[in-house]
């Protein structure tokens, strides 16, 4: 649900060779559907959706060469700003696999009031926002009450697989597991950018979580929510 595998469009993959290797690694990590979510920032030069779609088609062909049951879908990681709905309509932002789901990124120190207001507008416009790596958004990560409020609004949450790892003195993984257990984490994503510092890592995270959380909870996180998303149904 969160990857930077398309070549030459952001700080992710550099070329097709790297994209191919990242796809190979993702597949061996257990991934079968991968949404390409290149960064989408505000600014003068707006994204041409058709260019991204074309890269996604080529990446999907590569995926199919790896295995017939491997699919690449289109998307964006959209840095929040006003007017997102209009940019979508104008063909400058891609929703997740052309559904009403939208992966939205906030600055780590963004004020909660602005986050809430912005997401409410997106929901009112008929979108289903997924907060990208919610664990990085400080005010949100630290408050279960705020997470609950956003959930009531219809907002979903994505967490990076690497954030569940961490050492014994790192309290973040334990808190994140609690959120998964409470149904506040809907999607896992590797947020992969390359093969070294930010690789398509999933397996060790899934194994660790499976040891500590009930099977029903893992099913929801890894399969049921994905199925709902792929069928363009709400969670
Ligand atoms: Fe990302």
Cα dist from 1 to 11, 50, 86, 112, whole Å: 17, 20, 23, 24
CA 52 – ligand 1 centroid, Å: 16
Given this model, what pLDDT does residue 210 score?
96
Range of the domain at 49: 16-230
The overall pTM is greater than 0.75 = yes
Q: Which two tokens stand for residue 170?
A: 């790192």
Sign, CA dihedral 146-151-156-160, equals positive
Percent of the chain at pLDDT > 90 equals: 96
C-alpha pair distances (Å), 175 with each of 2, 149, 170? 21, 18, 10
Which residues sit with Cβ closer than 5 angstroms to ligand 1, an ion? Answer: 77, 191
Report CA(55)–ligand 1 centroid distance (Å).
17
Q: Which phi and psi (to 5°) does residue 158 adopt?
A: -115, 140
Q: For 124-128, what is the mean pLDDT? A: 97
Note the pLDDT tens digit of each residue in 88-113: 999 999 999 999 999 999 999 999 99
Residue 58 is predicted with a pLDDT of 98
Cβ(207)–Cβ(222) below 8 Å: no
What was the pLDDT predicted at 168?
Answer: 74
pLDDT at 118 over 80: yes
Look at residue 72 and tell me if it is in a domain.
Answer: yes
Does residue 156 surpass a pLDDT of 80?
yes
Cβ 154 vs Cβ 125: under 8 Å: no
Residue-wise pLDDT for 34-80, tens only, equals: 999 999 999 989 999 999 999 999 999 999 999 999 999 999 999 99
Phi, psi of 53 (to 5 degrees): -60, -40
Distance from Cα 77 to the centre of ligand 1, integer Å: 6
Domain annotation covers residue 9: no
Distance 39 CA to ligand 1 centre (A): 7
Residue 171: per-residue pLDDT = 87
CATH number of residue 178's parent domain = 3.20.20.140
CA 6 to ligand 1 centroid distance, Å: 12
In the reported structure, the alpha carbon of residue 191 is separated from the centroid of ligand 1 by a whole-number distance in angstroms of 5
List residues bridging with 159 in a β-sheet.
188
Distance 3 CA to ligand 1 centre (A): 6
pLDDT band at 231 (very low <50, low <70, confident <90, very high): very high
Average pLDDT over residues 193-197: 97
| Residue 212 lies inside a defined structural domain of this protein | yes
Domain count, the chain: 1
Distance 178 CA to ligand 1 centre (A): 23
From ligand 1's centre to the CA of 159, what distance in Å? 11
Q: What tokens does 84 get?
A: 């997102």
In a domain, 53, yes or no: yes
**99 CA to middle of ligand 1, Å?**
19
Select from 23, 3, 21 the least CA-distant residue to 11: 3
Distance CA 72, CA 35 (A): 6
Ligand 1 mean position to 2 CA, how many Å? 6
What is the 74 CA–ligand 1 centroid distance (Å)? Answer: 14
Assess if residue 226 is contained within a domain: yes
Distance 215 CA to ligand 1 centre (A): 28
Give 57's contacts (C-beta < 8 A, 6+ positions apart): none
* CB-based contacts of 114, cutoff 8 Å, min separation 6: none
Helix boundaries (H) for the chain: 16-28, 49-66, 84-89, 112-124, 138-141, 144-153, 172-181, 203-212, 215-219, 225-230
| Full DSSP string of 81-116 | -TTHHHHHHTTSS--GGGSSEEEEE--TT--HHHHH
Which of the four pLDDT bands, split at 50, 70 and 90, describes residue 206? very high
Structural domain includes residue 43: yes
**79 CA → ligand 1 middle, Å:** 10
State the distance from the centre of ligand 1 to the C-alpha of 117, rounded, in angstroms. Answer: 22
């Amino acid at each position: 649900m969160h990857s930077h595998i398309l070549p030459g469009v952001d700080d992710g993959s550099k070329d097709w060779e790297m994209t191919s290797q990242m796809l190979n690694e993702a597949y061996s990590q257990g991934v079968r559907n991968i949404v390409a979510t290149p960064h989408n920032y505000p600014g003068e030069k707006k994204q041409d959706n058709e260019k991204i779609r074309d890269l996604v088609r080529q990446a999907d062909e590569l995926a199919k060469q790896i295995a017939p049951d491997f699919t690449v879908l289109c998307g964006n990681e959209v840095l929040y700003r006003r007017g997102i709905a209009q940019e979508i309509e104008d063909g400058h932002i891609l929703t997740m696999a052309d559904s009403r789901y939208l992966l939205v990124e906030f600055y780590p120190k963004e004020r909660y009031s602005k986050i809430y207001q912005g997401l409410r507008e997106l929901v009112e416009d008929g979108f289903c926002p997924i907060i990208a790596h919610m664990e990085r958004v400080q005010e949100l990560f630290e408050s279960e009450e705020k997470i609950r409020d956003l959930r009531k609004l219809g907002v979903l949450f994505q967490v990076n697989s690497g954030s569940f790892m961490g050492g014994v003195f790192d309290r973040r993984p334990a808190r994140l597991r609690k959120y998964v257990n409470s149904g506040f984490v809907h999607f896992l994503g590797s947020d992969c950018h390359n093969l070294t510092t930010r690789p398509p890592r999933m397996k060790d995270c899934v194994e660790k979580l499976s040891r500590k959380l009930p099977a029903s909870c893992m099913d929801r996180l890894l399969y049921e929510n994905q199925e709902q998303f792929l069928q363009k149904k709400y969670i």
